[in-house]
Structure 1
Amino acid sequence: MAAKFEVYEDKAGKFRFRLKAGNGEVVAQGEAYESKAGAVKGAEAVKRAAAEAEVHEV
């Protein structure tokens, strides 16, 4: 199974996204958004940025 973003409503009524690996493990999670559309846009922004991201050790 491929990785996927999930958009969900948290206990406080805010919307968040999480990225799940193919094995179902959560590997990233976004901040709280006021709307579902905001969370979707956040996930899309992470997806675009990650495609070009490099790993740096600090």
Structure 2
Amino acid sequence: MGKFVIKTAKDGQHYFNLKAENGQTILSSEMYTTKSACNNGIDSVKKNAPNDSHYEKLIAKNGQHYFNLKAVNGQVIGTSEMYEATSGRDNGIESVKKNAPVASVVEE
């Protein structure tokens, strides 16, 4: 089972990474000013992850593939790691869909 790992940056802001069972980061959040807002972001990922239409498939300037997970209002709530191929990106989306809804939340 995957897990959300909440971390605190040097400037005191909070962010999370969604990690797959193997420990690989599959989705990262923006920075949040409060832990409460960070937890709300996690709840939004859990809610929106199963919906295919909330994934935006993109290609970076260097040709690598990645995706954003968006909330109903269109706001980006998580960004993937970079992938060499579309198949890797698509596998990453499937991993988020599988792991996010049931992932535990831990703090580091």
- What is the Cα deviation at residue 7 of structure 1? 1.2
Which of 1 and 2 has greater Rg?
2
- What is the Cα deviation at residue 46 of structure 1? 1.0
Greater fraction of residues in strand: 2
> Structure 2: which amino acid aligns with 1:29?
T
Q: Which residue of 1 aligns with 2:23?
A: none
Q: Deviation above 6 Å: which 4+ runs of structure 1?
A: none
Structure 1's unaligned 5+ residue stretches are none
CA distance in structure 2 between the aligned counterparts of 1:25 and 1:10, rounded to whole angstroms: 19
* 1:6 and 2:69 matched: no
CA distance in structure 2 between the aligned counterparts of 1:40 and 1:11, rounded to whole angstroms: 19
> Structure 2: which amino acid aligns with 1:23?
N
CA distance in structure 2 between the aligned counterparts of 1:34 and 1:22, rounded to whole angstroms: 28
Structure 2's unaligned 5+ residue stretches are 1-47, 49-53
- CA RMSD in angstroms comes to 1.3
Q: Which residue of 2 aligns with 1:44?
A: 94
CA distance in structure 2 between the aligned counterparts of 1:50 and 1:29, rounded to whole angstroms: 13
* Total equivalences in the alignment: 56
Q: Which residue of 1 aligns with 2:75?
A: 25
1:49 partner SS: helix
Q: Percent identity?
A: 39
Larger relative contact order (Cα-Cα within 8 Å, sequence gap ≥ 6): 2
